[in-house]
């Protein structure tokens, strides 16, 4: 896993470490790491044109000291100061190494013609929109052909949340120190970071448990079939989805469960979606039910439930959601089921694990009148934590960065998402997939984490397969393409 810590905890760890080290040691460690990454990125350092965008804080000092190291290796280093103040020792070191300071009116041509730009305008403490001239300097990184390297966090990105208000540096590489910061992993800030390089400066012993973690394949502990496995040991998932009006959601949800490794899928709905599921997924055991509280009595034994995709939101749908949540089994609620819960939050008072998979609009309805979709999208980390606490559930917030939260646990970030998944029906596939993992015995947090990872990876694989031979290497996909790619996604974990 890649760990991230809130800004206040990073500051406290830095202070504790600096108290044990000679003055300036920590900045020199950061500058050495930053310069080393820049050297790797440049085809050759000698003769390279490097421009530093320098603010008045410690990140400006890191950039200046790194620039001095590059200058001593033969690079032509120029610094543009955003204000009247700059780190005095760093500035002296740059000048002693042969670097020079440019007037602000030379910034635009310098950045445009640079080989590499180092962003040291603001640091991890920066919040809110950049002011001038910082904003103007940040905008220069949008149009340059130079490699842009951000120091600790791209200026204009809130290190704690990933929020971006106005202009922000767009980096190709972000060199961060000691530990990642949440804003480097969460959109919209993450989209500004490029590749994140972590430099060890010795904070480890002073850092507490992480606040956010990004998962890697080795972190996913998906149960694999053994010689003793049968369909019941592998997990039986019950799916209550679809309606006479919305049939496709049922087919896709069942597909996600079948291709997600379920030993058996029991699907229950009204006649039309049952007919279509039988045609597309004959391995699923189907049951026609009425939309009443007693409907589940006909379905048979299951080990986890999925409810909501395409279900509708009328009183019959509410009766089915209530019936599923009254069981003592793990339950995933998605789509129309979440709309039902927005008016029946009392149904979440249960002891068994519950996974909710909203997008920002659905989460706004669940949280009530004081939550708006736009605010949730801007402050995703804050709201997914709030939802996990208020709703007493595992909450998977879908979007450009998928976040998974449980109360009093580090928030998990899925790194495999792709914009190609922003198409109708892919959420239904995700619901079936996570439901299969729940039925297979995974905890709610682990099932949601693994499901998001595999779902995102399947989307990437499907887009690549669809775009084979195309200029970009990717092409539009539909939800069924994600279902088809799930076995290949699982195969990457073996």
**Residues of the binding site:** 58-62, 119, 123-129, 134, 152, 155, 249, 310, 359, 398-402, 427-428
Computed over every residue of the chain, the mean pLDDT equals: 94
User: 475 vs 375, 420, 429, 459, CA distance in Å?
Assistant: 31, 8, 19, 11
Q: Are residues 252 and 193 in the same domain?
A: no
**Claim to verify: residue 317 and residue 402 sit in the same structural domain:** yes
The reply to whether 151 and 282 lie within a common domain is no
CB 297, CB 326: distance < 8 Å = no
Residue 233 predicted with pLDDT over 80: no
DSSP character at residue 369:
T
| Shared-domain flag, residues 367 and 422 | yes
* Mean pLDDT of all residues in 299-305: 96
End-of-domain residue from the set 188, 214, 240: 214
Q: Name the residue range of residue 297's domain.
A: 217-491
* CATH number, domain with residue 197: 3.40.50.10260
The percent of residues above 90 in pLDDT, for the chain, comes to: 88
Would you list which residues are annotated within the binding site for K(+)? 59, 119, 155
Question: Per residue in 166-190, is it b (16+ CB within 10 Å) or e — as a string?
Answer: ebbbbbbbbbbbbbbbbbbbbbbbb
Q: Which residues make up each annotated binding site for (6S)-NADPHX?
A: 58-62, 123-129, 134, 152, 249, 310, 359, 428
Q: Within 13 A of 251's CA, how many CA atoms are on the CB side?
A: 20
3-state secondary structure of 225: coil
Residue 200 sits in the same domain as residue 222: no
User: In the predicted model, is pLDDT for residue 494 greater than 80?
Assistant: no
Q: Report whether the peptide linkage leading into residue 33 is cis, meaning its omega lies within 30 degrees of zero.
A: no
- Residues 433 and 352 grouped into a single domain: yes
435: pLDDT strictly greater than 80: yes
The closest of 186, 222, 235, 260 to 449, measured between CA atoms, is 222
What CA–CA distance (Å, rounded) separates 90 from 34? 14
Residue 225 pLDDT level (bands cut at 50, 70, 90): confident
Taking the CA atoms of residue 112, residue 118, residue 120 and residue 126 in that order, the dihedral angle to the nearest 10 degrees is 80
**24 and 124 assigned to the same domain:** yes
For the cut 80, the answer to whether the pLDDT of residue 309 exceeds it is yes
- Both 368 and 226 in one domain: the answer is yes
Of 80-84, 90-94, 369-373, 438-442, the poorest mean pLDDT is in 369-373
The domain boundary residue, chosen from 214, 239, 265: 214
Verify that 141 and 243 share a domain, yes or no.
Answer: no
CATH at residue 228 = 3.40.1190.20
pLDDT digit string (tens) for 379-416?
A: 899 999 999 999 999 999 999 899 999 999 999 999 99
Q: Supply the pLDDT for residue 471.
A: 59
Lowest mean pLDDT among 14-18, 102-106, 438-442: 102-106
Say how many residues make up the chain.
494
More confident residue, 87 or 230: 87
- Rounded to whole angstroms, the Cα distance separating 48 from 216 reads 35
If asked whether residues 39 and 180 sit together in one domain, one would say yes
Q: Is the domain of 174 the same as that of 318?
A: no
**Which of 178, 193, 214 corresponds to the end of one domain?**
214
Predicted local distance difference test score (pLDDT) of residue 371: 82
**Integer distance in angstroms from the first to the last C-alpha of the chain?**
18
Residues annotated in the binding site for AMP, as ranges?
Answer: 398-402, 427
**Structure-block tokens of residue 82:** 């955003």
Question: What is the model's pLDDT at position 140?
Answer: 96
pLDDT of residue 467: 81
pLDDT attached to residue 321? 98
Cβ atoms of residues 101 and 74 within 8 Å: no
Question: Which pLDDT tens digit goes with each residue over 25-66?
Answer: 999 999 999 999 999 999 999 999 999 999 999 999 999 999
Identify whether residues 202 and 227 lie together within a single domain: no
pTM: 0.92
Q: Which two tokens stand for residue 130?
A: 């950049």
How many separate domains does the chain show?
2
pLDDT value at 229 more than 80: no
Q: Residues with Cβ < 8 Å from 343, sequence gap 6 or more?
A: none
Q: For the chain, what is the radius of gyration of the CA atoms?
A: 26
């Amino acid at each position: 896993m890649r760990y991230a810590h809130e800004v206040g905890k990073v500051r406290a760890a830095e202070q504790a470490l600096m108290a044990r080290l000679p003055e300036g040691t920590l900045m020199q460690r950061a500058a050495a790491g930053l310069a080393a990454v820049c050297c790797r990125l440049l085809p050759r350092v000698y003769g390279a044109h490097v421009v530093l965008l320098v603010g008045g804080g410690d990140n400006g000092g890191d950039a200046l000291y790194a620039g001095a190291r590059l200058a001593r290796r033969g690079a032509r280093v120029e610094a543009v100061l955003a204000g009247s103040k700059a780190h005095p020792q760093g500035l002296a070191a740059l000048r002693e190494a042969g670097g020079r300071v440019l007037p602000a009116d030379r910034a635009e041509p310098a950045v445009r013609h640079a080989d590499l730009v180092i962003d040291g305008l603001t640091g991890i403490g920066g919040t809110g929109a950049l002011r001038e001239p910082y904003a103007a300097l940040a905008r220069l990184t949008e149009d340059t052909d130079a490699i842009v390297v951000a120091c600790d966090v791209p200026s204009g990105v809130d290190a704690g949340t990933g929020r971006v208000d106005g202009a922000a540096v767009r980096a190709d590489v972000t060199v961060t120190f000691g530990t990642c910061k949440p804003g480097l992993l969460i959109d919209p800030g993450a989209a500004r970071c490029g590749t994140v390089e972590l430099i060890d400066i010795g904070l480890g012993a002073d850092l507490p448990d992480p606040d956010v973690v990004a998962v890697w394949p080795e972190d996913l502990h998906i149960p694999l079939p053994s010689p003793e496995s049968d369909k019941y040991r592998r997990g039986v998932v019950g799916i209550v989805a679809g309606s006479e009006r919305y049939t496709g959601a049922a087919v896709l949800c069942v597909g996600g469960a079948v291709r997600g490794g379920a030993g058996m899928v029991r699907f229950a709905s009204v006649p039309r979606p049952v007919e279509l599921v039988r045609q597309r997924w004959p391995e699923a055991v189907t049951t026609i039910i009425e939309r009443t509280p007693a409907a589940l009595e006909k379905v048979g034994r299951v080990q986890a439930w999925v409810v909501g995709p395409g279900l509708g939101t009328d009183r019959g749908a509410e009766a089915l959601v209530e019936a599923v949540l009254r069981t003592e089994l793990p339950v995933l609620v998605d789509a129309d089921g979440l709309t039902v819960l927005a008016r029946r939050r009392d149904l979440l008072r249960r002891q068994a694990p519950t996974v909710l998979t909203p997008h920002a609009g659905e989460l706004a309805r669940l949280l009530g009148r004081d939550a708006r979709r736009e605010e949730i999208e801007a402050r995703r980390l804050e709201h997914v934590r709030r939802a996990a606490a208020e709703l007493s559930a595992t909450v998977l917030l879908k979007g450009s960065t998928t976040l998974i939260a449980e109360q009093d646990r580090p928030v998990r970030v899925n790194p495999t998402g792709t914009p190609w998944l922003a198409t109708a029906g892919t959420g239904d596939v995700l619901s079936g997939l996570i439901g299969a993992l729940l039925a297979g015995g995974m905890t709610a947090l682990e099932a949601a984490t693994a499901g998001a990872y595999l779902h995102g990876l399947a989307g990437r694989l499907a887009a690549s397969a669809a775009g084979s031979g195309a200029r970009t290497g990717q092409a539009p996909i539909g939800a069924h393409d994600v279902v088809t790619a799930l076995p290949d996604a699982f195969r990457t974990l073996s």
